Amino acid sequence: MTTLTLQLELPDNCKLSEQEAKASLVLKLYEDGKLSAGKGAEILGITMRKFIETYGTVCGMTSEDLRRDYENACQASRHLNKKRLKEKKEHAFS
């Protein structure tokens, strides 16, 4: 997997810490469907649950919306892990 490293200079009047700027970008990428909740949480160094709660707070989601998003993210993560495990097993026997 390739990665992209950014260096960005923002004017002082933005009044954002480095972590806040990073979170803003990561949350936008999640909102646009370009980043999973798990990967977003990993980048920000927080749990997936905290990531979804943060996203929900920013977007004004209800607690039911947050619960549903968290359950969907957990299900997708389990599916992806099973898929990766299956691919590793197939590769080991080829």
Confidence (pLDDT) at 46: 93
pLDDT digits (tens, 9 = 90+) for 26-78: 989 988 989 988 899 999 999 988 888 888 777 776 778 777 877 888 888 78
Domain boundaries, the chain: 18-92
Residue with tokens 């097993």: 89
What's the gap between Cα 25 and its chain centre? 10
Q: What are phi and psi of 45, to 5 degrees?
A: 75, 35
Q: How far apart are CA 22 and CA 44, in angstroms?
A: 8
CA angle 46, 1, 70 (to 5 degrees): 35
